[in-house]
Structure 1
Amino acid sequence: MPLHPEARAVIDATDAQGGLLPLDGTSPAEMRAAFAKSWQPSPHPEPVDKVEDRTIPGPAGDIPVRVYTPHGDGPFPALVWFHGGGWVIGSLDENDSTCRVLCNAVGMVVVSVDYRLAPEHRYPAAAEDAYAALLWVADHGALIGVDDRIAVGGESAGGNLAAVVSLMARDHDGPPLSLQLLAAPVTAPPGDRPSYVDYGEGHFLDRESMEWFFTQYPRDPSDLDDPYLAPLAASHLGGLPSALVMTAEFDPLRDEGEEYAHRLLDAGVPVTLVRYEGQIHGFFALLVDQLSISATAHARAAAALRAAFAQEAVR
């Protein structure tokens, strides 16, 4: 299928600005500032009952989180959400619209996590913060009106962290998870999969940016063999929560996300895999104001979350 006209418009605008990231000696801190400046919040954010910025304890200090609470009487199920940005850039703000939509559509509390960023905080800092946030929600849910039904989710590097947290919870007898929501997840280093070969240049997210991210987050090459950084490196994927995996046709990360979905299926994990034809990276949370497909993807995710939470409620 050809590129959707909206996706083409995003690519053209990004190319006109010199690419997604200024990889010309710009420091990570400067890159974050430029990324934040280039992103504009929705002028009319979807209202929820309450939005609270707070901190929770983490392994290396407090972790900022943003808690979205729906209208109605709780306690509610919860989604612990992780933003994208290659573990280097991004913040709570860019995913605000998606968190609000999911909060209302499902009737759940969304806890969006501002984990530590590389290279100042290399692996496993982001993964440790992500898991600490999950444990905090499981142990202190009453403080934010949450019951024991918890899902995890994220886009891109955030999808990576959601998959990693699911592995950690399985391996360390952590809280049971209702669903892992993985939108265009990073599951392996850049490689020679067809989507990287075909769409690694000129399709919004590019190989050069991903290769740069993989110089910033790992401590050394041996980290790339650790499933808590690259989930496809896991020797077994059984015993993990059900998954909704969503990919985009023209995304370099498409094939690794779909390979991970099939690995989960092979391990006996219930998985729904959806590819959005004609679309690009960032379709779920980053580009909601530019891509109308976001609303379709949000509806699919909300339905999966409602079904997963309903199944937990009757057990």
Structure 2
Amino acid sequence: MQADEMHPQAKAAVKRQAYMPLPHGRLGVKFARLLTRPVMWVQNRNPPPVGATADLAIPGPGGDVDARLYRPDASERSPTVVFFHGGGFVFGSIETHDRLCRRLVRESDCAVLSVDYRLAPEHPFPAAVEDAYAAVEWVAANPDAVGGTGDVAVAGDSAGGNLAAVAALMAAERDGPALAYQTLVYPGVGVDEDAPSVREHAGVVLSEADLAFFADAYYGSDVHRRNPYADPTNAADVSGVAPATVLTAGFDPLRDGGRAYAEQLVRDGVDTRYVNHPDMPHGFLTMPGVDRARDAIAALGDDLAAVLDAH
């Protein structure tokens, strides 16, 4: 499940991130969010080009939800991937995942709608889930608004991978939109402090304190953590969900939870492709200077294109 050593490019990226530890507590969170804005402005200069972009407001249960639509071609219809960013349900935004979404558009020939769902601790569970599912329903009901063909998939990384999996589960259980696919990138599901991946790799990108803070901020109580819409590994049956790709990383505390959910999908008869990158850490798809990220995004794009007939 993991290589003997982390890839040198990833190791260098992790070392750079270590100078900016994640804050805990409401004031620290708010300050860190403000600090990311100029960083993202610099990082997102000269982004990978796509056919068109548009900032949208989607009606949600707590008010309008901001989103950004990336299209491969401004004049042609395409399948739509509803994307949810990572960040422990506390951090992250459309801007932090702008380059990833653009690359996914280029590799899949699908449109990507990146959703700026409400964040904890200001908006704990189920706010993010409600926004995520509202976005999926809106895209499915309004293909003309996104230049869509009517084919819809979901995708997300880390906390966003959790939301993508939950949206797929909700769609199946509520007779909702017929999703074509779900792409779950090192998803934050089934996290167990006693799992080998947590014991061995907590402190690599995500510490035990980070995991505990995110869980407290988002779930609030153990009662919520046992809800399948908070963590789909709690679901008794996932047989009706969309086919999936589940990606994990060898040096990631979340690795074992993601692998366990992939196994759960397979047991329940869901067509599932599981891929592990043994020498990569959590978050490597958005780490500058890690060449493997490009290859991994290309493979994810190929999976989506094959199912959605985007090519």
One-letter amino acid matched to 1:240: V
Change over 3 Å in CA distance of 1:108–1:4 after alignment to 2: same
Alpha-carbon shift at residue 193 of structure 1 (Å): 0.7
Normalised TM-score (structure 2): 0.94
CA distance in 1, matches of 2:304, 2:93: 23
Asked if structure 2 preserves the Cα contact closer than 8 Å seen for 1:164 and 1:231, the reply is yes
Aligned: 1:206 with 2:207:
yes
| 1:152 partner SS | strand
Aligned with 1:164: secondary structure?
A: helix
Structure 2 residue runs without a partner (length 5+): none
TM-score after normalising by structure 1: 0.93
Q: 1:124 aligns with which of 123, 126, 133?
A: 126
The equivalent of 2:232 in structure 1 is: 231
Instruction: Tell me the residue number matched to 2:221.
Output: 220
Whether contact under 8 Å (2:58, 2:135) holds in the other structure is yes
Q: Percent identity among equivalent residues?
A: 37
RMSD: 1.7
2:303 paired residue number: 304
Alignment of 1:60 onto 2:81:
no
C-alpha distance in structure 1 between counterparts of 2:44 and 2:292, whole Å: 16
Deviations 1:286-305 (A, max 9, x none): 21x23111111111101100
Q: How many residues align?
A: 307
Retained in 1: the 8 A contact 2:191–2:257? no
Cα shift at 1:208: 1.4
Query: Do the aligned partners of residues 146 and 25 (structure 1) sit closer, same or farther apart at CA in structure 2, a change above 3 Å counting?
Result: closer
The whole-number CA distance in structure 1 between the counterparts of 2:80 and 2:178 is 12
**Residues 219-275 of structure 1: CA distance to partner in whole angstroms, max 9, x if unpaired?**
322001001111111111111111000111000000000000001000000111110
1:155-194 equivalences under 5 Å are 155-194=157-196
Q: Comparing 51-60 with 101-110, which one deviates more in the overlay?
A: 101-110
Q: Highest relative contact order (Cα 8 Å, sep 6+), 1 or 2?
A: 2
Structure 1 counterpart of 2:284, one-letter code: F
Q: Which is further off, 183-192 or 81-90? A: 183-192
1:32-47 correspondence to structure 2 within 5 Å:
32-39=33-40, 40-47=42-49
Shift of 1:50: 1.0
In structure 2, the partner of 1:8 is: 11
Contact 1:69 1:108 survives alignment (8 Å):
yes
Amino acid at match of 2:88: G
Instruction: Give the Cα–Cα distance (whole angstroms) in 2 for the partners of residues 185 and 36 of structure 1.
Output: 25
Instruction: Indicate yes or no: 2:114 matched with 1:107.
Output: no
Deviations 1:108-155 (A, max 9, x none): 111000000111111000000000000010011112210111110000
Shift of the alpha carbon at 1:73?
Answer: 4.3
SS at match of 2:280: coil
